[in-house]
Structure 1
Amino acid sequence: MDPSAQDVVRCDLCETAVVQMHCDTCLVNLCKACVGEHFSADLSKPHKIVDFKDRKSTPLYPGCKTHDKERCKMYCDQCDIPVCHKCISSGQHLGHKVSEILKVVDGKRNKFMKEQTELNETIYPTYQDIASDVQNRMIQFEKNYYKYGDLSTAITKHGEDWHREIDKLVNKLKAEVDVMKNTQLQTLQKHLDEINKTMSDIKDEINSMETAIDTNELSKLFSVMSNVHTYRNLPDKILAPLPKFIPGKMKGEELSKLFGALSSSSLTSDKHGYSMKTTQKSPEAGSSPPVKQLLDEPETVTTIDTGYKQFYNMACLNDEEIWTSGGDNTMKLYSINQGSLLKSIKTKSGYISSNIAVTKSGDLVYTDYFYRTVNIVKNEKIEELIRLQNWIPKGVCSTSSGDLLVIMVSDDCKQTKVVCYSGSTEKQTIQFDDKRKPLYSNSSSCILRYITENKNLDICVSDERAGAVVVVNQAGKLRFRYTGHTPAPMNKAFNPRGITTDSQSHILTADFNNHCVHIIDQDGQFLRYIDCELSRPWGLCTDTNDNLFVVQWGNRQVKKIKYLQ
């Protein structure tokens, strides 16, 4: 027997002949010889026999729930139900708008087709990404729980200073760490299970819509209830901060208070943590960047002398060239490999630039403190892009979408805000949290501010006056404040200056007072310090290979550092 014959559709009555006809009324496949038998089997129905290729072309109107044996060919828009001609003539729907049911069906079918496309191409892939994100963060969370939190080491070391009775408290606190970890992982697992359940529901709804779209049995079409509006409300992003060990001091208090306690590390939710997956891919879109681990010991690759008397800022033009600016009105382009000066450009005003950045198209952008302007350099010609009134521009960066983020302070130094510009058009202002409290500290106009965009589209600001890195999401909602890590290399207060990010969504901040760079993850957890004998680090930037460039204010040099594998 020819295997391909198994795929031939057979007559539903004789089950041997190849199907040629179809009854659109009874949804039965027939050969020509069995058509008469099918008719005579039930004379009460108006059988509609069509060629098999034209099956399901005849609409099966839903039966009327009020009038037996009547078919509903109209639809009451006000009552939102199918109606038959007797329903209309009886006056039940007097004054109501009534439409042909086939027009309503076409509208519903088109709506379901669009929603099915949205579920297939946008919502379900988004939930897949969310599930993958939760799983990956759970793996990293469990992997890094002890490595970066250093809880066991800190607790054990502190316990060595006490006599044997203290060992009981050491073991107790270690057990609390495990309970915290397991509790949080259980919560994350429950969150993942809920996401997977929703994904299963979405798949079921996709299948239901597919059946409704393809069927000509209209009652089935009206029985489908769309829940797409529910799935558009994405789940909260569960954040899992690592706890810290807080040692106590001996001042005569109870032993347990003296020894110390674990900081609170409850899971929190971020309503804006996830965004809907888009089907339009940017030029940079593609697979996720490969995971890179931090080197055990960062390595200095090269050092460049700049000749500035005061050196503050820089920005990578590409992997071979870097723009710099300092305490004069000249911005210099250097070759990274050769350390040679390639080009110099003076500011339009003759005053120093507050900060510099490079746009996606490779143009240099700088802020002018005295003229209150943001300027762009195209073909070595300077164009004024933005002029502010009553505000002074400080830090500037170019976003992945090609916009500019500018952090600025008011003339009276009482306010600080971040403004997003598309060209010279203001798109968004970020200044206050949900309680209308300022996100950023006020400060004297001479204090510099730095800003960057992370790979996850968070906006990261180095707030020197507050001694903090302030991170908000794309919508401007506060995600976290990072205020340093102890012990610091020089045991001095956190003094953040330049800020940058890398392909792993790490946030790197220069700590001027402690002669180092802090690396934190995208959720604000401390990962490590970069020292490399830095001298008063100030400005920072990274290239496409995740090499770190550090402005050293102390010796006016640029140091290139490799810190990722």
Structure 2
Amino acid sequence: MHPRRSAQEVLLCDLCETVPLQSHCKLCHLNLCINCVGKHLSDSSKDHNVVPFIKHIQPTPNYPKCPKHAEKHCELHCEECNIPVCITCVSSGKHKGHDMSDILEKLSAKTESLQKDLEELEKRIYPRYEEMASGVQTEKAELETKYGKLTTAADQQGELLHREIIAIVNQQKSAITEMKTKHLDALNKNTETIAQKMAELKQIMSDLKSMLKSNDVSLTSTYKSRNSEFRTLPPKVRVTVPSLSAQKINKDQLNEMFGSLPPLSINTEHGDTMKSAEAVSSPPVKPLLDEPRVTATIDTGYKKTLFGKLSSVSCLSEEQVWTCGENDTMKLLNLQSELLTSIHTKSEYTPQDIAVTRDGDLVYTDNYDNTINLIKNKQIQTVITLQGWRPRYVCCTAGNDLLVTMISDDRKQSKVVRYSGSTEKQSIQFDDQGRPLYSSDNNTKYLSENRNLDICVADRSASAVVVVNQSGKLRFRYTGHPSNTGQSFNPVGITTDSQSHILTADYLNHRIHILDQDGQFLRYIHCDLESPWGLCVDIRDNLFVAEPITAKVKKIQYL
């Protein structure tokens, strides 16, 4: 019997050869018992990597059979011929001088490539196709309204010209119907093209998943990526709906007076080509500091009360921040607590929230008159007035859109709305099962867009940070660190940084939670904070924290 095996084939430690093994050092290729792990790690001259033995055990590789030598398996890969080969193939001399690599190493590299392709298809390329398909469907849904307006215009002109122009009216309606048919045909063809590409993408993603699960080297070694083919999106059809130009009534010139429709304009634009995942620039990695530190304290001048008056802070630069709080005055302050500018709301009521645009202009929401306002050169412009809804909190996106949390007048519904200028582009309210994403009361719901375009909302009433992706689909909810079951999580302000960290103010527990982009807790920031509320991060990832009770803003370095 083997000296290191018992009658029941128990594997023993490679060092003491008496105790059953439990761990494995990947660097030294040694199996270790619990007693010998400490001794082995005491050798600090090497960067040992000790893992549980069960994680070291890998499934038996599925080596492909050699097509030329049926009794052999291919354990090598010829780099020059780019094919798996067996030992007999190598010894035959046909691959003399060729570089050989281990087939499992080749499998590992190929598997990694497959995984990256699958990730890009699932997370970047396919969602863009979904977005395009949704856009075409929206345009199709608006056809009736747009062409209905044209038909109405034709009817109005026909009524003025009465019987003498009935024939022309019918002729124009016929032209409109024909244009509408052509427009719809063009959009349907565009839809078919996109749907065909999406079907191909689904099949490719399914095949990749199967290949990754099969561990079949013969499949993965011959795999060729098609991602570059799909990065160029399908052509986008743009059809310009004509307008009806009318003339004053003149019986002798009825045809000219009625007005004419220009030909339907159907243009096919070349599809955008998306950058590959590798081509998307990444910010430099900034590790978290073990001990975050306060680098400046700004006295805002707002009242210091038990419930606090200072609420929101938004960075204009590393040296200047906008604040709002107890009254109708929004203040621009520097790090020396000097007041640089102050602006009063148009309604003369307290602003609900503030944000700074990419152009450096200030945006504020007014819960009194249900407006969202832009301040440019100290002039206030109301860009959005809501009906049936009240605006709450606002943030500016990387694409210069506005994201606004709002609540219905009856306080039974909450949602997040995206605006481009004054145009509503997106409404986020329910998950895939039709359940509300956010609590329905009037409580705090600060929000921020992450670098990966996720939308992060600090829902105080729900005691959760709710994160959805760019399309509005729920990614995760963070309800506080699992170890702190006895302390109620009380998220208020929220912001994100260049590392895609999510930072949220835990008001009642006097600290900031730092999460990664997938909602995993990383650590706290304390810094003697007193009931932190509003948050923002400048371009160098300095954190600014508004403390309502002290009426101060603290600048904190944490990276």
1:562 aligns with 2:482: no
Over 3 Å counting, the alpha-carbon distance change for 1:562 and 1:433 in structure 2 is same
2:391 alignment partner AA: P
**How far does residue 383 in structure 1 lie from its aligned partner after superposition?**
0.7
Match in the other structure for 1:356: 354
Match in the other structure for 1:515: 510
Q: How many residues align?
A: 317
CA contact (8 A) 1:367 1:395 kept: yes
**How far does residue 287 in structure 1 lie from its aligned partner after superposition?**
3.0
Match in the other structure for 1:458: 454
Match in the other structure for 1:339: 337
Give 2:114's match in structure 1, choosing from 176, 194, 201: 194
Query: Partners of 2:545 and 2:514 in 1: how far apart?
Result: 13
Give 2:530's match in structure 1, choosing from 529, 535, 538: 535
Match in the other structure for 2:471: 475
Over 3 Å counting, the alpha-carbon distance change for 1:300 and 1:228 in structure 2 is same
Query: Partners of 1:408 and 1:433 in 2: how far apart?
Result: 17
**How far does residue 448 in structure 1 lie from its aligned partner after superposition?**
2.1
Aligned positions of 1:238-317 closer than 5 A? 279=273, 287-309=281-303, 310-317=309-316
CA contact (8 A) 1:508 1:517 kept: yes
Task: Name the TM-score, length of structure 1 as normaliser.
Answer: 0.52
Over 3 Å counting, the alpha-carbon distance change for 1:346 and 1:527 in structure 2 is same
Q: Secondary structure at the match of 2:317?
A: coil
Over 3 Å counting, the alpha-carbon distance change for 1:518 and 1:399 in structure 2 is same
CA contact (8 A) 1:396 1:450 kept: yes
Query: Partners of 1:548 and 1:177 in 2: how far apart?
Result: 43
Aligned positions of 1:390-405 closer than 5 A? 390-405=388-403
Aligned positions of 1:100-499 closer than 5 A? 192=112, 194-195=114-115, 232-233=201-202, 235=205, 279=273, 287-309=281-303, 310-336=309-335, 338-443=336-441, 445=442, 447-488=443-484, 492-499=487-494
**How far does residue 476 in structure 1 lie from its aligned partner after superposition?**
0.4
Q: Secondary structure at the match of 1:505?
A: coil
**How far does residue 412 in structure 1 lie from its aligned partner after superposition?**
1.1
CA contact (8 A) 1:491 1:514 kept: no
Task: Name the TM-score, length of structure 2 as normaliser.
Answer: 0.53
Query: Partners of 2:290 and 2:541 in 1: how far apart?
Result: 16
Unmatched segments (≥5 aa) in structure 2: 1-50, 60-107, 120-195, 210-229, 233-271, 304-308
Q: Secondary structure at the match of 1:194?
A: helix
Q: Secondary structure at the match of 1:332?
A: strand
**How far does residue 339 in structure 1 lie from its aligned partner after superposition?**
2.4
Query: Partners of 1:477 and 1:543 in 2: how far apart?
Result: 28
Unmatched segments (≥5 aa) in structure 1: 1-173, 183-187, 200-226, 239-274
**How far does residue 276 in structure 1 lie from its aligned partner after superposition?**
5.9
**How far does residue 534 in structure 1 lie from its aligned partner after superposition?**
0.1
Over 3 Å counting, the alpha-carbon distance change for 1:194 and 1:300 in structure 2 is same
Q: Secondary structure at the match of 2:509?
A: coil
1:192 alignment partner AA: E
1:546 aligns with 2:541: yes
2:322 alignment partner AA: W
CA contact (8 A) 1:354 1:448 kept: no
Match in the other structure for 1:503: 498
Match in the other structure for 1:524: 519
Could you tell me the percent identity over the aligned residues?
Answer: 55
**How far does residue 327 in structure 1 lie from its aligned partner after superposition?**
1.4
**How far does residue 492 in structure 1 lie from its aligned partner after superposition?**
2.4
Q: Secondary structure at the match of 2:558?
A: strand
CA contact (8 A) 1:313 1:325 kept: yes
Q: Deviations over 1:15-42 (max 9, x none)?
A: xxxxxxxxxxxxxxxxxxxxxxxxxxxx
Query: Partners of 1:420 and 1:543 in 2: how far apart?
Result: 22
Q: Deviations over 1:503-555 (max 9, x none)?
A: 00000000001100000000000000000000000000000000000001221
Over 3 Å counting, the alpha-carbon distance change for 1:229 and 1:429 in structure 2 is closer
1:320 alignment partner AA: E
Q: Secondary structure at the match of 1:437?
A: coil
Over 3 Å counting, the alpha-carbon distance change for 1:528 and 1:344 in structure 2 is same
Q: Deviations over 1:202-223 (max 9, x none)?
A: xxxxxxxxxxxxxxxxxxxxxx
Over 3 Å counting, the alpha-carbon distance change for 1:348 and 1:455 in structure 2 is same
Match in the other structure for 2:151: none
**How far does residue 175 in structure 1 lie from its aligned partner after superposition?**
6.0
Q: Secondary structure at the match of 2:475?
A: strand
CA contact (8 A) 2:231 2:273 kept: no
Query: Partners of 2:477 and 2:366 in 1: how far apart?
Result: 28
Query: Partners of 1:436 and 1:354 in 2: how far apart?
Result: 29
1:397 alignment partner AA: C
Query: Partners of 1:179 and 1:475 in 2: how far apart?
Result: 40
CA contact (8 A) 2:514 2:521 kept: yes
Query: Partners of 2:539 and 2:57 in 1: how far apart?
Result: 38
Query: Partners of 1:303 and 1:296 in 2: how far apart?
Result: 21
Q: Deviations over 1:103-157 (max 9, x none)?
A: xxxxxxxxxxxxxxxxxxxxxxxxxxxxxxxxxxxxxxxxxxxxxxxxxxxxxxx
CA contact (8 A) 2:405 2:415 kept: yes
Query: Partners of 1:177 and 1:523 in 2: how far apart?
Result: 27
Q: Deviations over 1:429-456 (max 9, x none)?
A: 000000000000111x3x2211110000
CA contact (8 A) 2:118 2:205 kept: no
1:315 alignment partner AA: S
**How far does residue 340 in structure 1 lie from its aligned partner after superposition?**
1.1
CA contact (8 A) 1:506 1:520 kept: yes
Over 3 Å counting, the alpha-carbon distance change for 1:280 and 1:377 in structure 2 is farther
Query: Partners of 2:496 and 2:542 in 1: how far apart?
Result: 11
